[in-house]
A and B are shown apart, each in its own frame.
Chain A
Amino acid sequence: TQLLEQSPQFLSIQEGENLTVYCNSSSVFSSLQWYRQEPGEGPVLLVTVVTGGEVKKLKRLTFQFGDARKDSSLHITAAQPGDTGLYLCAGARDDKIIFGKGTRLHILP
């Protein structure tokens, strides 16, 4: 069983459209991180959310932490081809930092 479930697994949309991807768990996390990974590279940290209900914005990306601190979402406004990549959520559990399997996002020009 995956502790952090990400959905959808794959998403392919046209440039300019909006999208939301999700990271869900049955467990409470003290914080969650979102990373983006491009082919041939390691994951790069985008943001950390700590407080239940917290919303953080990074240009066209909006990250939200659920009130119960069990889930998070990433919303992208007006997606661009440069947003293409694998989006991973991560959290600390039992002294380990675990990752979801990710959402593979492809933005079509």
Chain B
Amino acid sequence: DSGVTQTPKHLITATGQRVTLRCSPRSGDLSVYWYQQSLDQGLQFLIQYYNGEERAKGNILERFSAQQFPDLHSELNLSSLELGDSALYFCASSEGAWKSGELFFGEGSRLTVL
């Protein structure tokens, strides 16, 4: 158990819809990272928050947004969903802004868009 909690574990929805994925980091970790994993693209970095503020941005679509709340949990919002958004979405946390790439991952949220 990494200590990182993600909900929901599975989500099935239709094209055009909007979903919210939730992440609670390990106790004491200030940074939260979101990654998208698909079979052909591997783990793609989406966005990182540190202590409530956006720190780094990756290949995150404009239809996607995220935030980190004062209690340090984070949410990833995916809107106007397309078939190609079907993937595993992972949240990870680390103690500092980043600690040499040492991340602790949740079990992921599997999104299926029909």
Contacts and interface: CB of A to CB of B under 8 A. Distances in A.
Contact of A42 (B56, B92, B100, B101): B92
B58 A42 contact: no
Nearest to B44: A99
Nearest to B104: A45
B42 A33 contact: no
A50 B100 CA distance: 9
B55 A97 contact: no
Count chain B CB atoms within 10 A of each CB in A32, A33, A42 and give the residue with the most: A42
Nearest to B55: A95
Contact of B102 (A30, A33, A41, A88): A33
Interface residues of B, number: 24
A108 interface: no
Interface string B85-114: 000001010000010111111111000000
A42 B42 contact: no
Contacts of B98: 92, 95, 97
Contacts of A88: 42-43
Interface in A76-109: 88, 90-92, 94-102
Contacts of B35: 99
B45 A42 contact: no
A11 interface: no
A-B residue pairs, 3 tightest by C-beta? A42-B105, A101-B42, A99-B43
